A and B are shown apart, each in its own frame.
Chain A
Amino acid sequence: MKRFSCIFVVVFLVLAAWPANNISSAQDIGLGLRAGTTGIGGELGFSITPRLIIRGHFTAISQTVKEEEVGDDPKMLGSGKAKTGAIMGFLDFHPFGNSFRLTVGAGKNQFDVSASVVPAENVCFGDKNQQGVCDGKEMTPERLGTLSANVTYPSSIHPYAGIGFGNLAYGRSTVTFLFDAGVTYAGSPEITLTNDGLFSPTTTTENVQTLNDGIESFKWYPVVSLGLGFRF
Chain B
Amino acid sequence: MTSKRNSFLIVFMVAFGLTAAVSCDFQAADDAFNDFDIILGLDPINTVVSGVIVDSGSGDLIDARLTFSGPGASVLIDAYSDPLSSLHAESGTLTFGIRNSSIPTEGSPVEVVVTATAQNYYTTSREITISEVGEGFFELEMTRNDVHVPTAGTSGLSDSRVSTNGAGAIQQALSIQTQALASGLQAQLFVNVAQSSRPVTGSGAALVGGLSTDIRVFDSADGLGALPAAAKKSASGTSLALVGASFFRMSDSAGRVAVNFLTGSGKGGAACAANATSIVLTSSRADVISAIQAAGGSAAVDVYAYTPADGHNALGGTINASIENGLARLELCFGAAGAFNTALIGDASAGIIFTFALSGSSVSVQTLGNTVSVNNPGSAAINAVFRLVGPGINFSQDKTVPAGSSTYSLGTLVGQAGAVSLVQNGTYALSATLESGAPASVPVSGPASGSTSITLPASLGLVQFDFTVTMACPAGQKFEVQVSESSLDALQITYKAQVADAKWKALPSGAAANPVVTSGSVVLGGTLMMRPNTTYQVIGTLGDKSGSVTQTSPGAAGAWKINLPPKDIGLSCK
Contact = CB atoms under 8 A, between A and B. Distances in A.
Interface of A: 2-3, 6-7, 9-14, 16-19, 73-74, 95-96, 123-127, 135-137, 139, 144, 147, 161, 163, 181, 183, 198-202, 207, 210-211, 213-220, 222
B13 interface: yes
Contact of B23 (A12, A19, A147, A220): A220
B37 interface: yes
A96 B8 CA distance: 13
Nearest to A71: B38
Contact of B545 (A2, A16, A126): A126
B20 A214 contact: no
B570 A126 contact: yes
Contacts, number: 134
A215 B29 contact: yes
Given A16-B13, A199-B39, A123 B20 contact: no
A201 B30 CA distance: 22
Nearest to B41: A201
Identify the interface centre among A10, A17, A201: most chain B CB within 10 Å of its CB: A201
Contacts of B2: 19, 96
Contacts of B17: 6, 9-14, 181, 183
Contacts of A136: 545, 570
A219 B23 contact: yes
B80 A137 contact: yes
Interface of B: 2, 5-6, 9-10, 13-14, 16-18, 20-26, 28-33, 35-42, 78-80, 82, 480-484, 543, 545, 567, 570-572
A10 B26 CA distance: 17
A197 to B, nearest CB: 9
A202 B41 CA distance: 8
Contacts of A161: 16
Contacts of B35: 210, 214
A201 B572 contact: no
B37 A202 contact: yes
B139 to A, nearest CB: 25
Contacts of B42: 198
B13 A7 contact: no
B20 A127 contact: no
Contacts of B16: 13, 161, 183
Given A96-B2, A137-B80, A14 B14 contact: yes
A199 B10 contact: no
Contact of A222 (B6, B20, B36, B38): B20
Contact of A217 (B28, B79, B545): B28
Contact of B41 (A10, A12, A199, A219): A199
Given A10-B20, A19-B6, A137-B79, 13 more contacts: A6-B20, A9-B17, A10-B17, A11-B17, A14-B10, A73-B480, A161-B16, A198-B42, A199-B38, A202-B40, A207-B36, A216-B25, A220-B20
